[in-house]
């Protein structure tokens, strides 16, 4: 009997050991599978691995969610998170911040003038050289002659010159040429319960779209609200580009409903939207195709007239590429004949040593340079400041 019991116990033990051996490989497969799913982060259908961008805290906080029954309609997808708006810096002091960039491009011209004026003997030949340096820097023939005449008189009156005196004399003369009576301030204040309206004009390629984008940022940085009107309706890429700039700082962009739509209707719609939303400023981009003067006149004239059905146009800014010299001045003349330009935006001043164009264009159009573009970065647009500009030329 005891012998039989011993055999039964042994048989039970053998069976139990065999069962464990059989189970072991199964467990061994399950553990690594679960781990590999986690490592890849690919979500193998277990529901425990978050998808990229999923808020994992949402799953654990509620605790009352139940899995949807098979075949039941799934909850609508969450809307994508709102884009994070950028906070651009205010416009004050920008030109000072960008002065190093200006100095890098302009000191060649300033240093040449200082060198010539510091010569022991200022003979006719030296004065001719001074005039040539000024003309090469795009100051323009008439202003260059004026500067030379003024400097000659000062040298005669003041006699001997230390390097500091030469510098102070040249600084005063250049400042006198760059400064204007007209205010350089942009009219961006709401009036009579309506937004300020700015029309931006200029030839394609001068940096018009970029300038409007930078300007919108700068206004937002100063605490203003902005609506953009993409009335350059023939350039789909420019419309998209403008909207991208606007989206980054929360400025609404009114777009044409189709390529080639009537620019005046887009401008009207943008102004109407600006009035309704009670924003501070509406900036309208316009066509930059210099096909014919009459074509341009018709188009810009119509845009302006249509806006004026709702409110006044407070600024007409002409965007001019500083690197284009005389050609740029010719374009400026055409635009000035077609619309009443109230301010000039001189772009790409970081890319040319010919900063004298500031003097030439102000004199040519009789309107002040209000803004300058000093780079491709989003905040590389600055309110123009004559003293900072002249000091950058003189490397001070």
Q: Which residues bind ligand GDP (CB under 6 A)?
A: 204-210, 238, 288, 347-348, 350-351, 373-376, 380
In the complex, the smallest distance separating the C-beta of residue 302 from ligand GDP, rounded to whole angstroms, is 21
Closer CB to ligand GDP, 311 or 352, in the complex: 352
Residue 231 CA, distance from chain mean position? 18
In the complex, the smallest distance separating the C-beta of residue 199 from ligand GDP, rounded to whole angstroms, is 14
In the complex, the smallest distance separating the C-beta of residue 328 from ligand GDP, rounded to whole angstroms, is 12
Closer CB to ligand GDP, 167 or 235, in the complex: 235
C-alpha torsion angle, residues 219, 225, 229, 230 (rounded to 10): 60
Helix axes 124-136, 99-117, angle to 10 degrees: 160
In the complex, the smallest distance separating the C-beta of residue 327 from ligand GDP, rounded to whole angstroms, is 15
CA atoms within 13 Å, Cβ hemisphere of 352: 20
Closer CB to ligand GDP, 207 or 274, in the complex: 207
In the complex, the smallest distance separating the C-beta of residue 303 from ligand GDP, rounded to whole angstroms, is 17
Say if strands 226-230 and 315-321 run parallel, antiparallel, or are unpaired. Answer: unpaired
Smallest CA-to-CA distance from 281 within 200, 225, 221 is with 225
In the complex, the smallest distance separating the C-beta of residue 214 from ligand GDP, rounded to whole angstroms, is 8
Closer CB to ligand GDP, 143 or 221, in the complex: 221
In the complex, the smallest distance separating the C-beta of residue 337 from ligand GDP, rounded to whole angstroms, is 20
Closer CB to ligand GDP, 131 or 315, in the complex: 315
Q: Is 82 exposed, middle or buried (0-12, 13-18, 19+ CB in 10 A)?
A: exposed
Tokens 């590999």 correspond to what residue?
36
Q: Which residues contact 225 (CB under 8 A, 6 or more apart)?
A: 251, 277, 278, 279, 280, 281
C-alpha torsion angle, residues 229, 231, 235, 239 (rounded to 10): 10
First-residue to last-residue Cα distance in the chain: 116
Closer CB to ligand GDP, 102 or 113, in the complex: 102
Closer CB to ligand GDP, 366 or 377, in the complex: 377
The residue nearest ligand GDP at its CB is 373
Closer CB to ligand GDP, 114 or 199, in the complex: 199
Closer CB to ligand GDP, 350 or 385, in the complex: 350
CA atoms within 13 Å, Cβ hemisphere of 201: 28
DSSP 50-107: PPTT--HHHHHHH----PPPTTPPPPPPPPPPPPPPP-PPPSTTHHHHTHHHHHHHHH
In the complex, the smallest distance separating the C-beta of residue 321 from ligand GDP, rounded to whole angstroms, is 8
Phi and psi dihedrals of 232, rounded to 5?
Answer: -90, 75
In the complex, the smallest distance separating the C-beta of residue 293 from ligand GDP, rounded to whole angstroms, is 19
- What DSSP element (H or E) covers 16? helix 2-40
């Amino acid at each position: 009997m005891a012998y039989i019991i011993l055999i039964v116990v042994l048989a039970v033990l053998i069976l139990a050991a065999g069962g464990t051996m059989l189970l072991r490989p199964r467990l061994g497969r399950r553990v690594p599978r679960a781990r590999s799913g986690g490592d890849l982060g690919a979500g193998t259908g277990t529901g425990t691995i978050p998808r990229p961008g999923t808020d994992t805290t949402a799953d654990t906080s509620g605790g009352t969610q139940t899995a949807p029954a098979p075949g039941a309609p799934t909850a609508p997808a969450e809307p994508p998170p709102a884009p994070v708006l950028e906070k651009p810096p205010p416009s004050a002091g920008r030109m000072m911040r960008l002065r190093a960039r200006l100095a890098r491009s302009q000191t060649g011209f300033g240093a040449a003038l200082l060198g010539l004026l510091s010569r022991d003997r200022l003979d006719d030949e030296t004065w001719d050289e001074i005039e040539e340096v000024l003309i090469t820097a795009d100051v323009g023939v008439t202003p260059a002659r004026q500067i030379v005449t003024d400097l000659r008189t000062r040298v005669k009156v003041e006699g001997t010159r230390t390097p500091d005196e030469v510098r102070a004399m040249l600084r005063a003369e250049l400042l006198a040429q760059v400064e204007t009576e007209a205010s350089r301030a942009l009219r961006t204040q709401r009036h009579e319960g309506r937004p300020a309206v700015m029309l931006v004009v200029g030839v394609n390629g001068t940096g018009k779209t970029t300038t409007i984008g930078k300007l919108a940022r700068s206004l937002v940085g100063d605490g203003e609200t902005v609506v953009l009107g993409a009335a350059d309706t023939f350039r789909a890429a420019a419309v998209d580009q403008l909207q991208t700039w606007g989206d980054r700082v929360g400025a609404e962009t009114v777009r044409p409903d189709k390529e080639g739509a009537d620019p005046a209707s887009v401008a009207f719609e943008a102004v109407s939207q600006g009035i309704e939303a009670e924003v501070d400023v509406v900036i309208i981009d316009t066509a930059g195709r210099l096909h014919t003067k009459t074509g341009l006149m018709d188009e810009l004239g119509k845009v302006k007239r249509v806006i004026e059905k709702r409110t006044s146009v407070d600024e007409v800014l002409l965007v001019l590429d500083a690197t284009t010299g005389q050609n740029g001045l010719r374009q400026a003349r055409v635009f000035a004949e077609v619309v009443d330009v109230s301010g000039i935006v001189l772009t790409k001043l970081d890319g040319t040593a010919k900063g004298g164009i500031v003097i030439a264009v102000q004199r040519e159009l009789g309107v002040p340079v209000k803004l300058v573009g000093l780079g491709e970065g989003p905040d590389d647009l600055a309110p123009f400041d004559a003293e900072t500009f002249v000091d950058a030329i003189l490397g001070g």
